[in-house]
A and B are shown apart, each in its own frame.
Chain A
């Protein structure tokens, strides 16, 4: 792998079979992980199915929203790196205060996963993007897994994933996790984002009116002065403007910076 970096190898790297062979499903063995990967997404978009495909575990899956009731952890290793995968509860948003949303939000914010994989239902893209855009305000290491592509096709929907990737500023991988399609590509992209090979430039929420966006920018720059390198200063600013008590106390306790 290290010495032979010639053309035939290049061909291999894009081949699903080769990549699948590099994958070692580690089940619940998540010790000494090199990277932590969070799985976020709307309910019933197939997060648990993606989770099972990556870890080889058999987390129960079912066709209804809110089925995952316990936080599931699993692992896989790929190219000699070990990844710990966390299946977060499915949520439509991260803005309200329901328990599920807190768990998901807090993990992405305070757990600082190396990669956040957002699983989205390709046949309901617009609704799913609401969560995607919110996650992208919190973290800039994200991958969009456009799942249920088979179902979208059944509904006559097609999605230009390259434009979507450009608009969102993160890699987009098209999958049908139920049949395992696209999983090797997903793994590869996760590895590239984790190692920094792919640098994301995530989309930031644009359509705020000038008064609001000015306030966000002002507060955000003040936050950046106090915490240089805070990756989600805009988002923290928005939460403070929304009067989010949990974020306020996190700010006081200094939880926001690693």
Chain B
């Protein structure tokens, strides 16, 4: 054994003496040798035809897609088209699921429970609470995700995503973040939890944390419908009805754009305070364009992304449904826990241009942004004793008619300021619990999970407060 050790020491000292002899450019010499071997072999086996048409096509496409002039415009256009397809396309399957889960299965469950004589509280807890929340999340969450992710994956398969990263790299570098954050940011427009998982592509832990913490500023699928509804009611109403559609769409896009601004700003702040450090360089390869495999992509993106994210959301929605039902049905004194909470939160809510109902809704609807509006409506109707709407205390509902929704909200004391601030708060608040859980799983750190959770809320409160104060000074 010691003989062997001696031999090893011998080899090591021999190696270091050889290193002196060979000189310190050994690495370069070796690399050169490998390159020239590769070149020799390639020249023996490869024949290049003179048909370079497809190569030129790739080049031309790259020149357009990554050009200074059109690059950003095309990105914005593609993103808008995808979002438009998602929002519009999701309406039909969503209403079908809604009919199935809420208009067919829900009454059946209720009548079965009545026929077997389930006590009212168990019936309410299970079907009005848990089932309702789960059904709601499926109906509103599944269709947009099932449209957004496959579209996104098709773009990925085609080879467009690295071009996006290429276009945005400079901006990210200036804010102290990694260029690949462009990819995780756009994934976040589909779902923040998926965006957080996608940050695994960033090697440097510092830049990965920045990408994780700022992903929530990508307005996710669950929040687009809220934005659109509120913009239609409050912003669209400001202009003649012919223009209202365009104006409210622009307002929603402005909010999404504001999210990007906040993402850069926060990245910049973090890389100068909590997460100081150099921007790591990386080689970004622009891969060839490949015709995407349509069906395969749709299949895998459904399985890999949509179903997994949906499953997590369901797991979190079930207990939230229970909580929402319980706070509306358990009374302290003569009023429900929910009303007590609303009264308690109201002064602070009003101070920042929102109200107690909204704040309570954001607290109890933490599992999924999708159930914020149904919860707001339910709480408003219950708290202000508006009759003729809804299915009872603790039962979420939504209305087909925008004007009825508007009436309910206005009875609840909503103004234009409330609408604008809700849109801002919807952008700037804590991530949903699915995302928070994912952040913890990815970072394994309570500290960074808390930062990622609390930082956006702080932003939201500050922004809403400032807007409310300015508003009240001006009007």
In Å, the complex CA distance between A215 and B52 comes to: 44
Question: In residues 313-355 of chain B, which contact A (Cβ within 8 Å)?
Answer: none
When the two chains form their complex, are residues A65 and B162 in contact, meaning their CB atoms are under 8 A apart? yes
Contacts of B36 in A (CB 8 A): 207
Does A26 have its Cβ within 8 Å of any Cβ on chain B? Answer: no
When the two chains form their complex, are residues A58 and B161 in contact, meaning their CB atoms are under 8 A apart? no
Does B243 have its Cβ within 8 Å of any Cβ on chain A? Answer: no
Does B39 have its Cβ within 8 Å of any Cβ on chain A? Answer: yes
* Closest B residue, CB atoms, query A178: B293
Does B15 have its Cβ within 8 Å of any Cβ on chain A? Answer: yes
Does B447 have its Cβ within 8 Å of any Cβ on chain A? Answer: no
When the two chains form their complex, are residues A205 and B30 in contact, meaning their CB atoms are under 8 A apart? yes
When the two chains form their complex, are residues B34 and A130 in contact, meaning their CB atoms are under 8 A apart? yes
Does B156 have its Cβ within 8 Å of any Cβ on chain A? Answer: yes
When the two chains form their complex, are residues A154 and B45 in contact, meaning their CB atoms are under 8 A apart? no
When the two chains form their complex, are residues B48 and A242 in contact, meaning their CB atoms are under 8 A apart? no
Given contacts A60-B304, A207-B32, contact A154 B12 (CB under 8 A): no
Total count of chain B residues near the partner, CB < 8 A: 61
The residue that A241 contacts in the complex, of B18, B180, B293, with Cβ under 8 A, is B18
When the two chains form their complex, are residues A95 and B45 in contact, meaning their CB atoms are under 8 A apart? no
Contacts of B400 in A (CB 8 A): none
Q: Which stretch (B283-291, B367-375, B417-425) binds chain A?
A: B283-291
The residue that A252 contacts in the complex, of B8, B26, B288, with Cβ under 8 A, is B8
In this complex, the member of B8, B44, B200 whose beta carbon has the largest number of chain A beta carbons within 10 angstroms is B8
Does A125 have its Cβ within 8 Å of any Cβ on chain B? Answer: yes
When the two chains form their complex, are residues A67 and B201 in contact, meaning their CB atoms are under 8 A apart? yes
When the two chains form their complex, are residues A240 and B15 in contact, meaning their CB atoms are under 8 A apart? yes
Given contacts A133-B38, A205-B33, A241-B18, contact A66 B7 (CB under 8 A): no
B356 CB to closest chain A CB (Å) equals 43
Does B475 have its Cβ within 8 Å of any Cβ on chain A? Answer: no
Question: In residues 129-177 of chain A, which contact B (Cβ within 8 Å)?
Answer: 129-130, 132-134, 151, 154-161, 163-164, 167-168
Question: In residues 89-134 of chain A, which contact B (Cβ within 8 Å)?
Answer: 95, 98-100, 123, 125-127, 129-130, 132-134
When the two chains form their complex, are residues A241 and B15 in contact, meaning their CB atoms are under 8 A apart? yes
A190 CB to closest chain B CB (Å) equals 22
In Å, the complex CA distance between A160 and B157 comes to: 29
When the two chains form their complex, are residues A69 and B201 in contact, meaning their CB atoms are under 8 A apart? yes
Question: In residues 192-206 of chain B, which contact A (Cβ within 8 Å)?
Answer: 200-201, 203
In Å, the complex CA distance between A144 and B269 comes to: 48
When the two chains form their complex, are residues B8 and A226 in contact, meaning their CB atoms are under 8 A apart? yes
Q: Which stretch (A11-19, A32-40, A194-202, A217-225) binds chain B?
A: A217-225
When the two chains form their complex, are residues A63 and B7 in contact, meaning their CB atoms are under 8 A apart? no
Contacts of B287 in A (CB 8 A): 44, 63-65
Given contacts A62-B156, A222-B10, contact A241 B26 (CB under 8 A): yes
Contacts of B32 in A (CB 8 A): 207
In Å, the complex CA distance between A11 and B21 comes to: 58
Does A209 have its Cβ within 8 Å of any Cβ on chain B? Answer: yes
When the two chains form their complex, are residues A155 and B18 in contact, meaning their CB atoms are under 8 A apart? no
Given contacts A159-B45, A205-B30, A215-B22, contact A64 B156 (CB under 8 A): yes
Q: Chain B interface mostly helix, strand, loop or mixed? A: helix
The residue that A126 contacts in the complex, of B39, B153, B159, B288, with Cβ under 8 A, is B39
When the two chains form their complex, are residues A58 and B156 in contact, meaning their CB atoms are under 8 A apart? no
Question: In residues 15-54 of chain B, which contact A (Cβ within 8 Å)?
Answer: 15, 18-19, 21-22, 26-27, 29-42, 44-52, 54
In Å, the complex CA distance between A159 and B10 comes to: 46
When the two chains form their complex, are residues A129 and B300 in contact, meaning their CB atoms are under 8 A apart? no
Contacts of B29 in A (CB 8 A): 208-209, 212
The residue that A62 contacts in the complex, of B38, B44, B153, B285, with Cβ under 8 A, is B153
In Å, the complex CA distance between A151 and B291 comes to: 10
Does A43 have its Cβ within 8 Å of any Cβ on chain B? Answer: yes
When the two chains form their complex, are residues A159 and B11 in contact, meaning their CB atoms are under 8 A apart? no
A17 CB to closest chain B CB (Å) equals 21
Given contacts A95-B30, A208-B29, contact A125 B45 (CB under 8 A): yes
A49 CB to closest chain B CB (Å) equals 10
Given contacts A159-B45, A207-B36, contact A64 B162 (CB under 8 A): yes
B24 CB to closest chain A CB (Å) equals 9
A238 CB to closest chain B CB (Å) equals 6
In Å, the complex CA distance between A58 and B34 comes to: 35
When the two chains form their complex, are residues B42 and A129 in contact, meaning their CB atoms are under 8 A apart? yes
When the two chains form their complex, are residues A218 and B18 in contact, meaning their CB atoms are under 8 A apart? yes
Contacts of B15 in A (CB 8 A): 219, 237, 240-241
B191 CB to closest chain A CB (Å) equals 15
When the two chains form their complex, are residues B38 and A129 in contact, meaning their CB atoms are under 8 A apart? yes
When the two chains form their complex, are residues A58 and B304 in contact, meaning their CB atoms are under 8 A apart? yes
B365 CB to closest chain A CB (Å) equals 30
A174 CB to closest chain B CB (Å) equals 12
Given contacts A63-B156, A65-B287, contact A156 B37 (CB under 8 A): no
* Closest A residue, CB atoms, query B290: A63
When the two chains form their complex, are residues A156 and B303 in contact, meaning their CB atoms are under 8 A apart? no
When the two chains form their complex, are residues B157 and A99 in contact, meaning their CB atoms are under 8 A apart? no
A50 CB to closest chain B CB (Å) equals 15
B134 CB to closest chain A CB (Å) equals 26
Q: Kindly supply a per-residue 1/0 record for chain B positions 141-185, scoring 1 wherever the CB is within 8 Å of any chain A CB and 0 otherwise.
A: 000000000000100111101100000000000000000100000
Does B4 have its Cβ within 8 Å of any Cβ on chain A? Answer: yes
Question: In residues 64-82 of chain A, which contact B (Cβ within 8 Å)?
Answer: 64-67, 69-70
Contacts of A157 in B (CB 8 A): 46-49
Chain B contacts to A: CB under 8 angstroms = 4, 7-8, 10-12, 14-15, 18-19, 21-22, 26-27, 29-42, 44-52, 54-55, 153, 156-159, 161-162, 180, 200-201, 203, 284-285, 287-290, 292-293, 300, 303-304
Top 7 A-B pairs, shortest CB-CB distance: A156-B49, A129-B38, A156-B51, A69-B200, A126-B42, A240-B15, A65-B285
Given A61-B300, A207-B32, A222-B14, output 15 extra A-B contacts at Cβ < 8 Å. Answer: A62-B161, A63-B158, A63-B290, A126-B46, A130-B34, A133-B38, A167-B41, A178-B293, A205-B30, A208-B33, A212-B29, A212-B33, A240-B15, A241-B26, A251-B8
A–B complex contacts, Cβ < 8 Å, 7 sampled:
A44-B285, A126-B46, A130-B34, A207-B33, A222-B10, A223-B11, A241-B15
